[in-house]
Amino acid sequence: MCDRESNEGETSALVVRLSDLGSRSEVIVWEGRGISGAELETTVAGYARWLIDAYGPRPGDRIAVRSDISPMTLVMLVAHLRLGLVHVPVPPRYTPDEVAHIVADCGASQLLDPAAVGSLDGESVEWPTVPASALAWIVYTSGTTGRPKGVMMSHKALAANLLAVTGLWEVDERDRVIATLPLFHVHGLGLVALGSLLVGATIILKIKFSATDVVEEVERGANVFMGVPTMYHLLLDHLESHPEAGPVLGKARLFTAGSAALSVASFEAFRRHTGHHILERYGMTETGFTLSNPLHGERRPGCVGMPVPGVTVRLVDESGHGVPLGEPGEIEVRGDSLMDGYWGRPEATAAAFEDGWFKTGDTAVMDDGYVRIVGRTSTDIIKTGGFKVGAREVEDVVHASGLVTECAVLGTNDPKWGEVVLCVVVPRDGVDTDGDVVARLEVHCASWLVDYKRPRRYRVVEALPRNAMGKVQKAALKDPS
Q: Are residues 187 and 268 in the same domain?
A: yes
Q: Which of 313, 335, 367 is the last residue in one of the domains?
A: 367
Assess if residue 4 is contained within a domain. no
Assign residue 375 a region (left: φ > 0; alpha: ψ between -120 and 50; beta: otherwise).
Answer: left
Residue 2 lies in a domain: no
- Same domain membership, residue 392 and residue 311: no
- Write out residues in the chain with pLDDT < 50, as ranges: 1-7, 468-469
Range of the domain at 36: 13-367
Q: For residue 431, give the CATH number of its domain.
A: 3.30.300.30
CA quadruple 215, 221, 224, 226: dihedral positive or negative?
A: negative
Q: Quick one: 27 and 59 in the same domain?
A: yes
| Residues 3-12: tens digit of each pLDDT | 444 445 799 9
pLDDT of residue 5: 44
- Distance separating alpha carbons of residues 83 and 81, to the nearest angstrom: 5
As a whole number of angstroms, the distance between CA 266 and CA 280 comes to 12
Tell whether 185 and 224 lie within a shared domain: yes
Q: Which residues of 2-31 are buried (b: 16+ CB within 10 A; e: fewer)?
A: beeeebeeeebbbbebbeebeebebbbbbe
Instruction: Report the predicted TM-score, pTM, of the whole model to 2 decimal places.
Output: 0.83
Helix (H, G, I), strand (E, B) or coil at 432: coil
Report helix, strand or coil for 446.
helix
- Report the number of distinct structural domains present in the chain: 2
Model pLDDT for residues 412-468, shown as the tens digit of each residue: 989 889 899 999 999 988 776 667 899 999 999 999 999 999 999 999 999 988 764
CATH code, domain carrying 311: 3.40.50.12780
The DSSP output letter for 338 is -
264 with 409, same domain: the answer is no
Answer yes or no: are the C-beta atoms of 165 and 195 closer than 8 Å. yes
386 and 327 within one domain: no
